[in-house]
Amino acid sequence: MTKFNIQRPDPAIEGAAIDRINNLTKPKGSLGRLEELALQLALIQQTLRPRLKNPHNILFAADHGIIEEGVSVSPKEVTWQQLGHFAKGGAGINFLCNQHGFKLVLVDAGVDYDIPSGSGIIDMKMGRGTRNFLHGPAMTVDEFDECLKRGARVVDMVAENGCNVLSFGEMGSGNTSSSSMWMSILTGIPIEECIGAGAGLDNPGIARKRDVLGRAMAGCSAESLIEKLAWTGGYEMAMAVGGMLRAAELGMVVLVDGFIMTACIAAAMAINPEVKHYAIFGHCGDESGHRRMLDAIGAKPLISLGLRLGEGSGAVCAFPIVDSAARMICEMDTFADVDVTKYFD
């Protein structure tokens, strides 16, 4: 398997960063989570003046064979239709990227459609969708590893453009099924407790999804963790995992989106635990199981707005909070800088 050399941020700067944060012209601790985030950013960038530059949202799209079992209300063609919609602008992720200064990067990871050349979509297609994991592996371990490499290559592209903070999004009908499978595999939570409505299943639809995924889990004969992730995953998910690992290897800030991307960062953490030091969790979404998965991996989301769109929307929406943390530590004066009496220890 591809190895990622992710270094835990050097703690040598931590004392100086805490001292600066505590001596900004405010009561100590009065800016709450912003102070925690500022410390994390200082450690990631190894500076008391962290800056967030040229943010990108990388959106991987792919189809899933498990959709053949009726586990999604969204038909397969919606994947390529929405991918084209993203390229033209006007979708949910488009207005958020426009609002917050993100460049949207679109990647065909394995859509069951021939994307026209010149559409502005990066071709990393592994195939026309994964295989149906109810009946066998969705992909081979070699395909999973190749996805890691391709996701990493996309991150290299944006890093060359001066990006040091990025989020990841996804598009793929049926991918909440793969994410539920990963959640159960990675956390030990029973599969039936990891399943929700996805794109809008009604109660009978959720019951069918539980039945299908329960049978799929029982029939999965994979032994190693990587084999299990390959058996039940999606091309776009595996590429996101590779992208997250490479971003951390490069010392970039990784903004984590909703249920599907939380499953991906959990997989990345299982491959290399040091990736978590670079991750900031944007939000807790409205998909069943998201809060439980966040709790299971010890993650603290920044916002909770009932979002369940995916696409990277929650991560991009939370970006201004992270930017505020960077601006706080960079732009506020300390008591030593100005003629204000420090009134606490």
Q: Which residues are catalytic?
A: 311
Q: Please answer whether residues 158 and 248 qualify as being in contact, where contact means their C-beta atoms are separated by less than 8 angstroms.
A: no
Backbone angles phi, psi at 31, to 5 degrees: -100, 15
Q: Please answer whether residues 269 and 248 qualify as being in contact, where contact means their C-beta atoms are separated by less than 8 angstroms.
A: no
Instruction: Report which of 165, 169, 170 is spatially closest to residue 321, judged by C-alpha positions.
Output: 165
Instruction: Report which of 175, 145, 188, 212 is spatially closest to residue 295, judged by C-alpha positions.
Output: 188
The strand pair at 165-171 and 253-256 is best described as: parallel
- Sheet of 279-281: strand order equals 122-123, 103-110, 56-62, 165-171, 253-256, 279-281
Backbone angles phi, psi at 57, to 5 degrees: -115, 115
Instruction: Report which of 78, 55, 239, 218 is spatially closest to residue 144, judged by C-alpha positions.
Output: 239
Q: Which residues contact 32 (CB under 8 A, 6 or more apart)?
A: none
Q: Residue 154: helix, strand or coil by DSSP?
A: helix
